[in-house]
Amino acid sequence: MGAWGSGPFDNDDAGDLVCELIDANDWSVAEAAFDAVLGVGDDYLEAPESSAAIAAAAVLAHKVGNGGLALHPDDAAGIAALIVPPAPLLTKARDALARIKKQSELADLWEQANAKDEWLATLEPIEKTL
């Protein structure tokens, strides 16, 4: 995974998710990202799935929070075109974030980099908005 920061859009998997979401012009891509996280049960959750779900949650939070999170300017118009997400999708997003924080490769990687607190801090505004 190419990552350049701890933010929800600061990695290649997140960028791919946002592009797919805009191309789909609906929330099916976000829902699939959350289902991928929640569907692993107690198995080890890989970083790419976690990163995609975090990006999807951040887009949802941006949409329901009236633009409260920063998006790349190239993505803003596509995200603005999406309808308001349904409430059950927000629940899935919250559940996916909780699962990622609890046990995932991504959480382990941030722990190993001695930057888990920084990473968790980037998730807080998303969680509060959802």
What mean pLDDT comes out for the span 46-72? 88
Domain boundaries, the chain: 12-129
What's the pLDDT band for 17 if we cut at 50, 70, 90?
very high
Q: What integer pLDDT is reported at residue 68 of this predicted model?
A: 62
Yes or no: say if 116 and 110 are a contact pair by the CB < 8 Å rule: yes
Mean pLDDT, the chain, as a whole number? 91
pLDDT at 28 over 80: yes
Greater pLDDT, 7 or 17: 17
What mean pLDDT comes out for the span 107-121? 95
pTM of this structure: 0.93
Q: What integer pLDDT is reported at residue 96 of this predicted model?
A: 98
The values of phi and psi at residue 80, to 5°, are -60, -30
pLDDT at 66 over 90: no
Q: What is the spatial distance between Cα 4 and Cα 21, in angstroms, rounded to a whole number?
A: 21
